[in-house]
Structure 1
């Protein structure tokens, strides 16, 4: 069933539909990144140049995602409508045809996503002794990916691409290198985030380390979306399963989504920056004394007019009395004379 032409055509068509769905997610994240970056660029505050660079990267990724979506839709149209009478059906036509626009867009998107991932890993390891090692390894992996990608795009555009070593199977080494680089960089980023969370939580408590290694932070900073899609795609591609045709169309959009997530998190100030505090500096900056208010030693002005406070005191007679409690007689207690009748209340005004 999995090797039948019907199943291959079904997976190809469903892959085109799911790729269009992912492109809709790309449009949403593009709008979110634009809304987050554009006000910071217009304000010309500190860091607006970095936001301008991020905005250029966002626009580039969105253009590449649009090219991938249009190329994928056009290839699906050619396979199922224009060449539906091709010997072997649309699945046979899809295996023999190749869209140069789709290939170039896929490579450029892949390289841009990989550069962004390596940059995030370098930022995370910037204040550690492993920073030079991470830079060298990241640079070598990026150069190897670019060289193999260029070799693949040159081979598939030649008429002899189905002869000998110049075959479409040369895509498999490229995908292996990309997947290995993606997983390696992702694991380095995740390990650094978890280590920093452990150190901060041990010194300041568990609440202070959540921001560095929450589930969202690990998924976004390590581009786990791209890594998962790459790994899922490589398995059916290696066993020559038609399911790889569906995943190959979604892989480019997954790359753009992972990159836009990183940029949006950094633009919102939630990502790890090069100014992220180390363990010692975090503890020092978190324990601070509250600044004392400014105390004035000048005496109050003597020319201020004295204010009078009128107090009215009302004496209410006792309505209930416990006769069992005797009152101590005082020598100052005298009965009222008859010419001074007793009253219920006597207001007294006094000035203070």
Structure 2
């Protein structure tokens, strides 16, 4: 004891166990300080992206793609903002309005708040963000693999795992929590723990698997260009740059998910709360990191696009590269980039990769 006297009547909450006290403290920090800081990073990246893509709106052939991407990103950041606001309201009700609730503020939050309109909105927008960020990852994967004969075999397992994840989010989380106050036996704690553990694993698998498959495809295309040219060129280096960009951006999300999952399986409620409460905001940050790097010209540039469209051998014979591959690289970030440039003629064998 350090001699400090805690006035229970004044504070309204006296933790009975050190573990519970640490859990409540970290839950409060993650719901307020960490979530607010991550939202600030996301909003800052959003503004930087808007400034970076504004000059590109003058290019008619990319205007539609940029508008679609910016609108999609605006929806994501709007949902993230609403999620932060609902989190603040839930935290205020639990930790200030009902700090003396038996079991602590978090127990009050779990038992009472998620059946109220604000709690429903909180869960709904959390699911929407998960679906939007997952959808953009699946779209990138499809764009990169669309020209390959293995595209269907690559997409099917990823889509199935993603559907299982979305089903858990929408059905188990949203619907079950809405019905929990009326049907307490519908979703008992032991079943809730098992399903939650499964979704943590699914979430990490989806992020790592999709990122890995995109990188593998980009490296295969890069190797093909090196074989065509006989040496590494600026064109092939662009594929390495894009792969590094994806690794750097999604390593944050993967590491955060892994840390939360390990803490959960080790039954460390306090540490797992610190990571898992902010996980949705981390997904938005990872998404915007990729968008910012691409919109600022670090993922692909016009010089490489011109080079890849007309490769020349030393003996003067002109060779054009698959238009699908150009669209592939250009579309890693722009979800609506399905139009192929008419100046590019596909000549590479369809059996490749």
- Give TM-score scaled by structure 1 length: 0.70
CA-CA distance at 1:166 after TM superposition? 5.0
CA-CA distance at 1:86 after TM superposition? 1.1
Is the 8 Å Cα contact of residues 30 and 274 (structure 2) preserved in structure 1?
A: yes
SS at match of 1:155: helix
**Aligned Cα root-mean-square deviation (Å):** 3.1
* Higher helix proportion (structure 1 or 2): 2
Distance 1:95 1:198, change over 3 A: same
Inter-partner Cα distance in structure 1 for 2:152 and 2:295 = 26
- Structure 1 residue ranges without an equivalent (≥5): 291-352
Question: Is 1:246 aligned to 2:271, yes or no?
Answer: no
Question: Is 1:210 aligned to 2:237, yes or no?
Answer: yes
Among residues 157, 162, 165, which one is paired with 1:142 in the alignment?
Answer: 162
Match of 1:33 in 2: 49
Match of 1:126 in 2: 146
Among residues 212, 227, 246, which one is paired with 2:254 in the alignment?
Answer: 227
Match of 1:45 in 2: 60
CA-CA distance at 1:251 after TM superposition? 0.6
CA-CA distance at 1:121 after TM superposition? 1.6
Question: Is 1:62 aligned to 2:77, yes or no?
Answer: yes
Matching of residues 235-314 of structure 1 within 5 Å: 235-242=262-269, 243-271=271-299, 282=308, 285=311, 287=313
- Structure 2 residue ranges without an equivalent (≥5): 1-15, 317-353
Question: Is 1:86 aligned to 2:112, yes or no?
Answer: no
CA-CA distance at 1:111 after TM superposition? 0.9
Inter-partner Cα distance in structure 2 for 1:80 and 1:122 = 45
Question: Is 1:163 aligned to 2:185, yes or no?
Answer: yes
Is the 8 Å Cα contact of residues 219 and 240 (structure 2) preserved in structure 1?
A: yes
Question: Is 1:6 aligned to 2:31, yes or no?
Answer: no
Distance 1:52 1:284, change over 3 A: closer
Distance 1:52 1:207, change over 3 A: closer
Inter-partner Cα distance in structure 2 for 1:210 and 1:224 = 21
Deviations 1:215-266 (A, max 9, x none): 7423257x33322222222222234322222212211111111112233334
Distance 1:106 1:40, change over 3 A: same
Inter-partner Cα distance in structure 2 for 1:161 and 1:22 = 36
Match of 1:181 in 2: 206
Inter-partner Cα distance in structure 2 for 1:18 and 1:289 = 59
CA-CA distance at 1:172 after TM superposition? 3.2
The higher radius of gyration belongs to 1
Inter-partner Cα distance in structure 2 for 1:263 and 1:205 = 26
Distance 1:71 1:161, change over 3 A: farther
- Give TM-score scaled by structure 2 length: 0.70
Is the 8 Å Cα contact of residues 33 and 263 (structure 1) preserved in structure 2?
A: yes
